[in-house]
């Protein structure tokens, strides 16, 4: 089978679960050697075992700049370059205007905006000319969501990073794109609910808002990430590619 990422070196931050794990598995299946980061060692070890022999786990928090330095030092020592960077680590929870705290804001922007910025900036010495950088945004970048304003604003910032960095890096031929998932069946989405009944109600409601009538799966986002990472997307740059079953389009 022709593997379109054979010989490529990739890093997926937040790669131990959810969308990051789905992407890491697809990148490896397409022939890439994949490094993943995660904050919890047990989850990281499990993900590496699930991805297979082409995976290496590095325990790190993408919001901690010293951890990022450690990640890139290990990659530099082991392989010396990066061809694909999926800056995926992020998350958020819900608080309505009037209840938002400094901790809520700082935590979400610390990972989703500050963490993404320095994940990419610190990767620059390792990124090859013509590399592919992919950022995780969200359908919330273009849609309002009650009680989700801080997360939504952080993802709108990420979407603009793709626009601006595509210009900053044009001299090196590095493509920067954002993938914006809709509701995907991940631990993070499920974590927005406090119990199983509430969780199922949330999933059912979100599925009803999607023209395809269902939640997406991490593997479906992973296939899009692998496409953007590949030479098949060589003339795609600065875009926001929605993987949402039509939710933000209809």
Catalogue the active-site residues. Answer: 151
Report which of 22, 16, 11 is spatially closest to residue 43, judged by C-alpha positions: 16
Report which of 222, 90, 210 is spatially closest to residue 161, judged by C-alpha positions: 90
* Both structure tokens of 10: 């990739």
Cβ contacts of 166 within 8 Å, gap of 6 or more: 175, 176, 177, 237, 238
In angstroms, the CA 108 to CA 168 distance is 25
* First-last CA distance in the chain: 37
């Amino acid at each position: 089978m022709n593997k379109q990422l054979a010989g490529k070196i990739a890093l997926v931050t937040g790669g131990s679960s959810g969308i990051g794990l789905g992407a890491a598995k697809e990148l490896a299946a397409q022939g890439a050697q994949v490094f993943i980061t995660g904050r919890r060692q047990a989850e990281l070890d499990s993900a590496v075992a699930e991805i297979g022999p082409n995976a290496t786990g590095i325990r790190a928090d993408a919001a901690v700049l010293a951890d990022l330095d450690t990640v890139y030092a290990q990659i530099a020592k082991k392989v010396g370059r990066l061809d694909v960077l999926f800056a995926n680590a992020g998350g958020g929870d819900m608080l309505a205007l009037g209840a938002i705290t400094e901790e809520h804001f700082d935590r979400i922007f610390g990972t989703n905006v500050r963490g993404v910025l320095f994940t990419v900036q610190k990767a620059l010495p390792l990124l090859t000319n013509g590399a592919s950088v992919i950022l995780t945004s969200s359908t919330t970048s273009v849609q309002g969501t009650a009680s989700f304003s801080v997360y939504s604003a952080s993802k709108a910032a990420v979407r603009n990073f793709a626009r601006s960095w595509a210009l900053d890096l044009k001299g090196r031929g590095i493509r920067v794109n954002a993938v914006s998932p809709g509701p995907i069946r991940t631990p993070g989405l499920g974590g927005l609910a406090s119990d199983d009944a509430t969780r199922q109600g949330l999933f059912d409601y979100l599925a009803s808002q999607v023209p395809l009538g269902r939640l997406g799966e991490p593997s479906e986002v992973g296939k899009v990430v692998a496409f953007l990472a590949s030479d098949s997307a060589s003339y795609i740059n600065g875009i926001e590619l929605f993987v949402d079953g039509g939710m933000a389009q209809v």
